[in-house]
Every structure is written in C-alpha cells, then in structure tokens.
Amino acid sequence: MTTRLKIGRLGGQGDGIAWTERGQTYVPFALPGETVTAAVEGERGTLMALIDRSPLRVEPRCRHFGVCGGCVLQHLEPAAYGQWKRDKVVQALKSRGIEVPVDDLVACAPESRRRAAFTARHTERGVLLGYNEAQSNSLIDVEECPILLPEIVAALPELRKLASIVAMSGSPFRLLVTATASGLDIAASDQGTLSDEARHAAGRYVLKAGFARLSVDGEIVVESRKPMVMAGEMAIEPPPGGFLQAVAAAEDAMAALVVPHLAKGKKVADLFAGAGAFALRLARHAEVHAVEADEAALGALDRAFRFATGLKRVTTEKRDLFRRPLTFKELNAFGGVVFDPPRAGAEDQAKQLARSDVPKLAAVSCNPLTLARDLKILIDGGYLLQRVVPIDQFLWSAHVEAVALLDKPKKRR
C-alpha cells in the first residue's frame, strides 16, 4: 500500500520514522522533516518519492547507495550526521541514568577504511564481488566504494579474478581484504575445499597481482611479503583473518585518549587485547599485561613486542574473559586497565573492575548500549566518569565507537 508520510526523526539504524495510526513506520533513506510517499508493508516502508525535501539532504557519494546495504546515511549533511551519531551515545548513557558531557564526534574521512569484508559468489555470468543489498541476501557487484582506501578499490578486478579461482561452489563466501604497508592481505573463508589445481593457480595469481598474502580458512596459501600494520611506531603482522580496527586514524584517535589516561601507571592491563593496538603503545610508558582469548592474536602481539625497541615489558595471557574475567584481586596489581570487548560488552569483567581499586580505567566500545550498561556498573562501584568521546569508524553506517575514561578516588584511611 502506497502512503503519504511525514518523517519525524531518524531511528537508531538510520531509517526515517513516521508516526501513523498503526504506530511507527520505518522508511530507509528518508530524513526528518521530509514528506514522502512510501510503499508500506507492516512497520517498514520503501521510499517511492520525495514530496518535500529536507535541506539536510545531500547528493550521495556512491552509485550503489540506496541498493547496497553497507551505508545508510550518505544522503545526510555531515554536521547533522555527526550530531546524530553523537546523540546515539548520549541517549544510550541517559537510558542508564548517566549524565555526563559527551564530546563531539571524531569524524571519519572517506577513502580511509583499510579493511573490507566482501561477499563473493560464482554465477553463470561470472563472479560477483561486493556487499549484500539492504534487508536482503542478494549480492551487489560493486564497482566503487567511497569508504575504502583507493588501493582496495583499484584492486577490485584482480580480487574478482582471485575469487573466481578459489570459488569451489556456487555458494556465497567471504573475502576479507586488508590494506597493509606491504600490500593487500586477503583471507578467504567458506569457499569450499580447494583442489590442488586451484591452490596452485591461486598462489600464482597472488604473486602476479602483487598481493602480500592469501590465506584460505585460516591457512596461508602463499605469502610473497609479510603483511604489516602499524600500532603507532610498532609493526604488527596480523594473523590471517584476525581482528583489526577498520580505520587506522580511528585507532590512533582511540589510542590518543587511552594512552595518556593510563600512562602514569607502572603496570597496566589490556583486556580483550587483540594483536596489541593499545598494549604496544602503552608499553612505551608502562609494563603491560595483555589478556586475549585468541591465541593467534596474542602470538602476533608477542612477535611485535620482541622486534620492537624502547618498550617496557609486555606479558600475554590466553584467557576467555567472558567465562573467566580477571578477579578484583588480580586487577588490584595494576595502576590502570583498558578493555575493548566485542559488541556484547564486558558485563562480568565490569563487575570485577567495579570491586577493584584500579585507579584509572579506559573503556572502548563499538556498542553504545552495552557500553552504557558496563559504565553504570563501574559508576555504582565508585568510579567517576570523566569523559566520553564518540568516534566514527564505520562511515555512513549506524555504528559508532566510543572511548570512556574513568577514575576511582583513593579510599581515605
């Protein structure tokens, strides 16, 4: 049914929201203040036409916008977009009764993302390589992507050819591409078991195309050069398909907040440490104990530490912090702690931190809702929330990162 709607506000996922007699209707790509016609089914509407256009509407950067499911807000003016992302953090904190000044959003530049998770599929018309359509499993064969570093976009034809070599079925599979200092690092997964012929052909093509490394389901097929990324001045060789902050400038912005806040501690802990984005930077100032469940990531961190110079001691511990968080007694050995958990947050670890006497905490999160929950636990445990900084890392998406800095006053004797 086609309906005329007045858009009142933006929802948490970037959809325009209109109020009707039936309740809220969510209209992707519509902006507050606009009058639109939309084909409505249930709670969702498909934008058909703009009747009254918002002055905040701008021309999208990408020809695929509106079909590709990767970006939701390329059409929103930058200042309003930044305010919307900041407000996501503000509202999440308010939902837990936390009133604290929140900084302006640290912006993310176009053409800065160093990592792309492409979907690929072999079809009768050739290999499709790109992203899924919004609200669909249909695959968009992308020809451009203005969020990615230009070297990834320039390599799309070669990546499509490589995908055709490793595709062992017609099922969709993943091609994770990372731009490193030594070339593109490519990790394929779910493509099916490679035949010997395909393995040799893929290896030859990687060398011809000048890629740094190809791994398949975690196993290195060929490595012409070790892929290296920088954590400040320290070089890290990331494990195949391992976690990495998507935008180097966003990682630098997070570290610029975390490191000074914890730098005075003689010994600090990095929880959910990954391959050492914070640990290696912190080791310029303090001894660091890095805790992480991923053994390959810890191995990368340890190698980076051993090849670096001018760092204080870094120790590592393989530990599932969801099942076995550091206890408050263990935490009391540290003068500062940074924790950067997945989207689920770190509820159990936050409960132990709340009981501890650690004087300085830095919480890093990709989910404002779980961050607010964990901060509430820490505040109830006596911590003072000093600063919250939202950081844009996934440009034009609904995702926003944040760094929160906390202190615990010393107990009076």
In the chain, the amino acid numbered 229 is V
Judge whether 366 counts as a catalytic residue. Answer: yes
pLDDT of residue 412: 54
Rama region for 395: left / alpha / beta (φ>0; ψ in -120 to 50; rest): beta
pLDDT of residue 413: 47
How far apart (Å, rounded) are the C-alpha atoms in residues 10 and 384? 32
How many other C-beta atoms lie within 10 A of the C-beta of residue 61? 17
How far apart (Å, rounded) are the C-alpha atoms in residues 8 and 36? 11
Angle at 401 between CA 396 and CA 407, to 5 degrees: 155
Instruction: Please choose, from the candidates 235, 215, 231, the residue with its C-alpha nearest in 3D space to the C-alpha of residue 223.
Output: 215
Q: Tell me the chain's radius of gyration from C-alpha atoms.
A: 23
Between the alpha carbon of residue 30 and those of residues 46, 51, 131, the distances in Å are 9, 11, 22
Between the alpha carbon of residue 10 and those of residues 29, 34, 44, 84, 398, the distances in Å are 10, 11, 14, 8, 11
Strand partners, 317: 291
SS3 91: helix
Binding-site residues from annotation for S-adenosyl-L-methionine: 245, 272, 292, 340
How far apart (Å, rounded) are the C-alpha atoms in residues 392 and 399? 8
The answer, as to whether pTM is greater than 0.75, is yes
Q: Which residues contact 21 (CB under 8 A, 6 or more apart)?
A: none
Of these residues, 68, 71, 145, 366, which one is catalytic? 366
Burial class of residue 256 (count of CB atoms within 10 Å of its CB; 0-12, 13-18, 19+): middle
CATH numbers and ranges of domains, the chain:
1-56 (2.40.50.140), 83-108+247-407 (3.40.50.150), 115-229 (2.40.50.1070)
Q: Where are the alpha helices (DSSP H) in 3-124?
A: 78-94
pLDDT tens, per residue, the chain with 413 residues: 789 999 999 999 999 999 988 899 999 999 999 999 999 998 999 999 999 999 999 999 999 999 998 899 999 999 999 999 999 999 999 999 999 999 999 999 999 999 999 999 988 888 999 999 887 888 999 999 999 999 999 999 999 999 999 998 889 999 999 999 999 999 999 998 899 999 999 999 999 999 999 999 999 999 999 999 999 999 999 999 999 999 999 999 999 999 999 999 999 999 999 999 999 999 999 999 999 999 999 999 999 999 999 999 999 999 999 999 999 999 999 999 999 999 999 999 999 999 999 999 999 999 999 999 999 999 999 999 999 999 999 999 999 999 999 999 987 54
SS3 86: helix
Q: What HEC string does 93-123 produce? A: HHCCCCCCCECCCECCCCCCECEEEEEEEEE
Binding-site residues from annotation: 245, 272, 292, 340
